[in-house]
Structures are given as structure tokens and as C-alpha cells.
Amino acid sequence: MNRVEDYADIVGYQTIEDIFKRSRRLVGKSAVHINSTFIGGGVAEILRSLAPLMNSCGLEADWRVLHGYPDFFTITKKFHNALQGEEINFSEIKQQIYHEVSEEFASYAKLDYDCIIIHDPQPLPLVKYMRKRQPWVWRCHVDLSSPNALVWDYLKRMVIKYDLMVVSHEDYLQTDFPLGQRVVHPAIDPLRPKNIDLPDEAIRQTLEKAGVPVDKPLITQISRFDKWKDPEGVVDVFDLVRARVDCRLVMMGGMAADDPEGAKIYDNIRERHAALIERGDLILIVTENDILANALQRMARVVIQKSLREGFCLAVTEALWKGTPVVASRIGGIPLQVQDGVNGYLLDPRDNAGFAERITALLGDDKLRARMGEQGRETVRKKFLITRLLADWLDIVTLLTDDYHH
Amino acid sequence: MNRVEDYADIVGYQTIEDIFKRSRRLVGKSAVHINSTFIGGGVAEILRSLAPLMNSCGLEADWRVLHGYPDFFTITKKFHNALQGEEINFSEIKQQIYHEVSEEFASYAKLDYDCIIIHDPQPLPLVKYMRKRQPWVWRCHVDLSSPNALVWDYLKRMVIKYDLMVVSHEDYLQTDFPLGQRVVHPAIDPLRPKNIDLPDEAIRQTLEKAGVPVDKPLITQISRFDKWKDPEGVVDVFDLVRARVDCRLVMMGGMAADDPEGAKIYDNIRERHAALIERGDLILIVTENDILANALQRMARVVIQKSLREGFCLAVTEALWKGTPVVASRIGGIPLQVQDGVNGYLLDPRDNAGFAERITALLGDDKLRARMGEQGRETVRKKFLITRLLADWLDIVTLLTDDYHH
């Protein structure tokens, strides 16, 4: 279990001292993060690191998970998609199930904390069913740049009860909405198995054990099997690259308990590209295995991220941190991380030919990859590590709790 | 959301009054249940009902879920199997991961309650990592009649820190262990979608929508795809029955998030019995759908439960409650519920011929099924409904908290 001071070698002692200074204002205060899954997905990963770290600098910070069930997750995934702009059949029964889960949770969950931080739409209605005795923050990880109006209007009536809304990108701020809003970029934990440094020997062994040969250059996309990650498009790009350079594509994605669409999308790809898989040129991995993800991102010559929508995209952060150039869509939070031509390339998500061209060029240029990789690692070190996120949360909790009782 | 008084029509007002009397001694007290999943499996189902009900009679009763991850669940499933008598490769690294999850959870989980109730082995080590300020109960749902000595010796060192151990059957009491122990039978909630009364029309529509034809007599086993439920044996029995009566077998089982073996077992059955599935005589269902499970148990002429090990077996309770005779293995908690020749039949789990004979006889005898079905429903009403379980927990919390500070 990591403590704040364990990050000193990576971020420097000044950063650690700044965090401890911030935390002194929070002695005796408590906060709780509430989200809807503890397995799979970026939010669970962040909280798994953030909750112990917040405690290690003095704040009492709990992490609770709403108790959903499959029908509920099917509905909230549709809300999620609608917030990212999709159409939705917004029925009574969907709204009812959505509220029931929060109502039931509120009937027993003891939320005696000085600040309550709700992640994403799933536990959003909780604020309706608890007596509000403290500041509530709605931390939305979704791309809110062009939400479905029907769903956003519906959610606004709950969001307005909150004291602050936190989003991942300036473009997601809601200009026609009077609630206080703030941009906080997500971050990765460099000391977790998914991101720790791995010796070459460990990388090779891990890949061998997982059945990933390294006789050809590797390209990889590590992202849930989700239509927003355009897994079909990734295979199309790979086909174009493969016509010029013999290489291999590995797509790895866990199944988040709160995302019921994953299995179907995975099955479709497996069926449609059976020949490619049979030949060993396309490898699909669904095991949740952080060390393997880490090894793949390090061994890959290029990481591709061909998403159509991304709140922020921690998969890109992870790849950059490992010194691997990223060729990615110019959407959502990706341009906050990838600087075109500096630590990777940005493209229109539909520009398959462009993706293929950039990837092909990178595969053949060791020096370019090394230079971009170094830049990528520096980008993450400066802006997207968990210590920066921790500091942001300490500030938010201080601000809101100071404000509340005065 | 159900309240204690909503059960009056089913259990009578005397039972409700008894519960409220018990709860008066608990005003101002709090308790928390901690288990390791909120989706799938009997424990999550019980807690989903029990937590709100405990609150509805005045006790502050919370429900928290430990934050495990796939590797952790793989290990704890092995511990579970070992407690039920299997061999295990009991490595250092398994023990380390087992403890780490509790240690991390303890670093942030605020457990300010007057009584802490830990379910099953997954969160058992928590007691090591929290300052113990209140009584702790270890509620073990596993068959402990002949545990693997290595694992049980290892767990005992943690269990001994608890104030009480609760098991599901007299046979699971540990005679060579000085800790106070108590038998509490699990129970089902008659007002949950899985168990509520369904009109015939709703049953038919539900089955039709799920692709289950009702032109032939149905046999069903509704249980996770788990080797302890002997799904292969169920198909073998079905083959014997089918040789005499044209009928259909439906096997339905969700995937619990904390049971990683399920998918493999399901795939094996699907492959091995492809022909039977193709013909429509064997239907496998993995969707988590409570109403469908309910409808199947009601429409089935016979419910089979061919388990090799069962802590208690709520699937049997559910079937009996629906007035369907149960032909089941004479193991674990099943003989507490099924009385041979009264509300079903008990057989040696390996006696396929015996299973087939009993099922065949029942399929052809409407009167026998009706009589047994009525007896089954009465058995459950008297002994295995959630109101009785609620009363048991109120007593335990009263006993322990009264005892603790005097």
C-alpha cells in the first residue's frame, strides 16, 4: 500500500511537501468517494489509489460503491451514452430503476462525512434521498460537450442540489448552468502494477506467458471493448498498416461490471476477424491483468487509441508514461495529453488512412519513437500523476468544507 | 423498498410484532454487514433485503462490500473450495494477496458501528487491520463439515479474534474450537422479484420472451455454473428421464463477480451438449434475470438440485416456496429443507438412476406434485423467510452489544 512520500523519487520532494501543507488544513475532516464499481474502468482504478493516499496524508477519506445490479447498469450505460450525445428511449421504467437503486442504498448507507463526492451519473440521485448535511460534489468523468438534451435536462434537476461540479475538460463546462464548475484532469498512479517500471526480462516473460509472441513489431490498443473505443476501426487501420509492414495487433480490454455491452462487442470482433486471429496476427485479450497491460504498453512500438468519444482517456496517459508514442483521435481529453508531432500524433477518428500512415512511419523509425516516448513520459510526469490529482482533491475538500459552515 | 410490516400478509401480524419488540432493545445501535460482492450469489441477495429491513425496524444497519479484484477472487474461490474439502496449493503469494485487500480496505473504510458482521472468508482478515472497538461476528455460509485442515488452521487464527461464529447447519459447528458458535439458517425474501407471486399470464410471457417453449414438461436447475452444483450430472440425469418422458431441461445460472470459475464451466457444457441445445431440449441461460428465474421455478414440474456441496442452498428454498417439488442431493443444508417423500425427494448425489426415477414419477403425477408443492411452501413459510432471519440477527446484535460494554 503506497503512501504520499513513496512518490518522492518520481515527482520530487517539493511536490510531496506541497501535498502535506495542503493536508494540514484538513485535520479532523472526512470525505467519501462514491462510484458504482470497484472492478474495471478508470474511475475504480483512480479511487483504489486515491482513497488510501488521501488517508495517508491525514484526511479521513472513505470509498463506497453503490450496489447496482445488471438491469440498473444497462440503464445507466444508456444514460452515459446519451450524455455523450446518443439518442435514448427515455422511459418511465428506466427512470424508476435508476432512482430505486439510490433510494435503497440511502436507506442503509451511513454517510457521516464532511464532504461527499459522487462519481458519474450512477449514484447521482443519492442527493435526493439523503438529508444533505455537508457539501456534495458531482465528479463527472463523461464527455459533456454535446449531451442529449433530454437526459441532461433530467439530470440537471439533481446536479443543481450539488455544491460543485467537476469535469475533465474545459469543453465540458456547462455555460447555461449556474452551478459552480471546475476542471480537474484525471491521473494515473505510477506505483500501481499497471504502471510500475518493469525490467525487460519481466516484460518478455509476461508476454510469453500470455501467448503474445514478440517476433514481429507490436501495435496495441488497451481499452474496454466499447463502441466508443471503435475496436472495429482499429482492426481496419491494422489491415492498412499490415499491407506495408509485417506486424501484430493486440487488443486488450477488461469487462467493467457496470458496462453490460462489452461481451457482445468482443464476440462480434472475434467472429468477424476469425481468420486474422487464427493466423496469430490479431490477439484479443479479455483477462483483467495489470502487469500484462503494462508489459504490452511497454513492448508495443506504437499504442493506438482510436476512440470516438473519451471523457479523458487514461489508456493514453498510461501509454505515454511508458515512453511509447501514441497515435490517437483528436477528441475528448486526448489532445490534453497527446501533442501532435511531439509525443505522438492526433488524427480525425474516421481518418483510417491517416492513422495507418502515422503508425507505419513510427514502426520504421527507432529514433523518432525514442524521442517521442521521452516527451510522453515528461508530459505525464508534469501533469497527469496521482499526486497532482490528490492535491486537487485536497483543495476542493478544503474549499467546500471551509465554505459550508461559515 | 420493503418494510417489515409489508410481510404481515405472508407471515402474520404476530411475527411482525415480535420483530418490533426485539428491535426496541436496539434503539441507537448500529451494525454493518461486510461481504465481497453486491451482484450474484445468495449472500448478496440476502443482504440486499436484510440491510433495508434492519433499518426499517429502527437499527442503523449498513452494508459494505470489500473491494476485491479478479486475482483476489480467484484465490478466495480456492479458499472456499478448500473449506469444502478440496486440496489447495497454499502459496505465500495467495496469502499475501488475500491479506492485502483487507489491509487496503481497512486503510480507508470508516467502520464506526456497534457490531461488525463479516460474511464468508473474503473479508475475514479485516479484523487484523482495524482497531477492534466492538463485537465482530464471522458469518460463514460455506459447508464447514470437513474443511481442508491447512486452510482452516490458517483461518482459525483470524476467526478466534471474533466474538461469535455463525454457520448454516449444526454439522458445520467446530467442536475443537473454543469460539462461541451459533446456527442460523439463511432465508429468502418473498417480496423480491425473484420470489413474488406471478400470475400465469406473466409466467407465460416471461418464458416466451426468454425463448423457453412450454410445449413439453419443464425440469429446471437454477444455480450458478459451478462444479459443486454438478451441472454435468444434471444433464446425465436428464438424458435418463428423456428416454422415458419427452421433456425439456432449462439450466439457468448467473455469474457472481466473486466466482471466476463460472464462465469456463458454462462453456464446457455448451460445447459438450451442442446437439441437445441445437434440438432445443437443453436450454442454458446466463442472464441475471430474477423474474425469469421466478417464472421458471413456477412453470417447472420438477426442480432438480444435484449439488455435491451446499452450505444451505437457497435455490431449493426458492423452488419450495413456489410450490414446486424438489428432487435434490442429501447433502449440506438441503435435508433441512427437503423432507424425503413430503415436499420432494432426497438422493445420494451420485445416484443418477435414482434422480431420474423420482423425476420421471413426479412428471407423470399431477396430484403428487400438487400435494408436495403445498407442503414445500409451508416448510418455507414456517422456517426460511427473511422475517425469521431478521429476528435472528436482531437477537445476535442485541446479545453481543449488551455483552460488550458491561
What are the pLDDT digits (tens) for B145-199? 999 999 999 999 999 999 999 999 999 999 999 999 999 999 999 999 999 999 9
Work out the mean pLDDT of chain B and round it to a whole number.
Answer: 95
Under an 8 A CB cutoff, do B67 and A65 touch?
yes
* pLDDT score at A275: 95
What ipTM, to 2 d.p.? 0.90
What is the chain A residue with the closest CA to B66? Answer: A38
Between CA B73 and CA B58 the distance in angstroms is 34
Interface-testing mutation among A108, A189, A255, A270, with chain B (most B C-beta atoms within 10 A):
A108
Please tell me if residue A293 touches chain B, with a CB cutoff of 8 Å.
no
B127 sits in the region (left: phi over 0; alpha: psi -120 to 50; else beta) called alpha
Domain assignment present for A306? yes
Residue A193 lies in a domain: no
Query: DSSP class of residue A115?
Result: -
138-197 in chain B: CB under 8 A from chain A: none
Q: Choose among B60, B68, B70: nearest Cβ to A110.
A: B60
- B29: domain CATH number? 3.40.50.2000
DSSP string, B222-239: ES-S-GGG-HHHHHHHHH
Both A77 and A209 in a single domain?
no
The residue with cell 453490460 is A260
**Is the separation of the CB atoms in A183 and A168 below 8 Å?**
yes
Which chain B residue lies closest to A40 (C-alpha atoms)? B69
Q: What is the pTM of this model?
A: 0.92
SS3 A321: helix
Residue in this structure with the C-alpha cell 475532516, named with its chain if needed: A29
Q: Is residue A351 part of a domain?
A: yes
Q: Which of the residues in chain A have pLDDT under 70?
A: 255-259, 405-406
> In this structure, are A155 and A207 located in the same domain?
no
Position B255 confidence tier, pLDDT thresholds 50, 70, 90: low
For residue B96, pLDDT beyond 70: yes
Find the mean pLDDT for residues B119-147: 96
Q: Is the pLDDT of residue B329 over 90?
A: yes
Residue of chain B minimizing CA distance to A257? B257
CB pairs under 8 A between A and B: 84
Contact B291/A at CB under 8 A: no
- Give the residue carrying C-alpha cell 462453456: B267
Please say whether the beta carbons of B56 and B4 come within 8 A.
Answer: yes
Residue pLDDT, tens place only, A114-142? 999 999 999 999 999 999 999 999 999 99
Answer yes or no: do A74 and A103 share one domain: yes
Question: Across the strands, what pairs with A304?
Answer: A327
Residues A115, A11 share a domain: yes
- A56/B1 CB distance under 8 A: no
Residue B39's pLDDT is: 87
Tell me if B107 and A56 make a contact (CB, 8 A cut-off).
yes
Is B193 domain-assigned?
no
State the residue range of the domain holding A169.
4-187+385-405
Contact B403, B32 (CB under 8 A): no
Same domain, yes or no, for A234 and A296? Answer: yes
Domain count within chain B? 2
pLDDT of residue A256: 63
Best mutation target among B93, B108, B111, B266 (most A Cβ atoms within 10 Å) is: B108
What string of H, E and C letters represents the secondary structure of chain A?
Answer: CCCHHHHHHHHCHHHHHHHHHHHHCCCCCEEEEEECCCCCCHHHHHHHHHHHHHHHCCCEEEEEECCCCHHHHHHHHHHHHHHCCCCCCCCHHHHHHHHHHHHHHHHHCCCCCCCEEEECCCCCCHHHHCCCCCCEEEECCCCCCCCCHHHHHHHHHHHCCCCEEEECCHHHCCCCCCCCEEECCCCECCCCCCCCCCCHHHHHHHHHHCCCCCCCCEEEEECCCCHHHCHHHHHHHHHHHHCCCCCEEEEECCCCCCCCCHHHHHHHHHHHCHHHHHCCCEEEECCCCHHHHHHHHHHCCEEEECCCCCCCCHHHHHHHHCCCCEEEECCCCHHHCCCECCCEEEECCCCHHHHHHHHHHHHCCHHHHHHHHHHHHHHHHHHCEHHHHHHHHHHHHHHHHHHHCC
Chain B residues touching residue A192 (CB < 8 angstroms): none
Any chain B CB within 8 A of the CB of A1? Answer: yes
d(CA B223, CA B307): 9
DSSP β-bridge partners for residue A220: A250, A303
Residue B174 has φ and ψ, to the nearest 5°, of -100, 110
Give the model's pLDDT for residue B263.
Answer: 82
Residues A137 and A79 in one domain: yes
- Find the CB nearest A39 among B69, B104, B110: B69
Q: Are residues A241 and A356 in the same domain?
A: yes
Chain B contact for A231, CB < 8 A?
A: no
Query: What's the gap in Å between the CA of B288 and the closest CA on chain A?
Result: 7
* Out of B52, B60, B70, closest to residue A288 by CB: B70
Among A88-92, B56-60, B371-375, which range has the highest average pLDDT?
A: B371-375
pLDDT value of position B109: 97
Distances in Å between the alpha carbon of B336 and those of A28, B215, B216, B302, B373?
Answer: 51, 34, 31, 19, 16
Give the best residue of A64, A103, A110 to mutate against chain B (max B CB count within 10 A): A110
Beta-carbon separation of B39 and A257 below 8 A: yes
Whether residues A331 and A318 fall in one domain: yes
**What's the burial of B197, exposed, middle or buried (CB within 10 Å: 0-12/13-18/19+)?**
exposed
- Residue of chain B whose Cα is closest to the Cα of A287: B70
Domain presence at residue A249: yes
Output the nine-digit C-alpha cell for B30: 448500529
Provide the β-strand partners of residue B249.
Answer: B219, B282
Q: Residue B107's pLDDT band (boundaries 50, 70, 90)? A: very high
- Would residue B121 count as lying in a domain? yes
Distance from CA of A227 to the nearest CA of B (A): 21
Which residues are CB-contacts of A96 (< 8 A; sequence separation ≥ 6)?
A: none
pLDDT computed for residue B261 by the predictor:
78
Instruction: Kindly compute the dihedral angle of the four CA atoms of residues A34, A40, A41, A42, in this order, to the nearest 10 degrees.
Output: 80
Within a domain: B194: no
Beta bridge partners of A218: A248
Residues A32 and A130 in one domain: yes
pLDDT at B403 over 90: no
B110 shares a domain with B31? yes
Q: Do A224 and A341 lie in a common domain?
A: yes
At A370, which helix (H) or strand (E)? Answer: helix A366-383
Task: Identify whether A195 is part of a domain.
Answer: no
Task: Give yes or no: residues A393 and A258 share one domain.
Answer: no
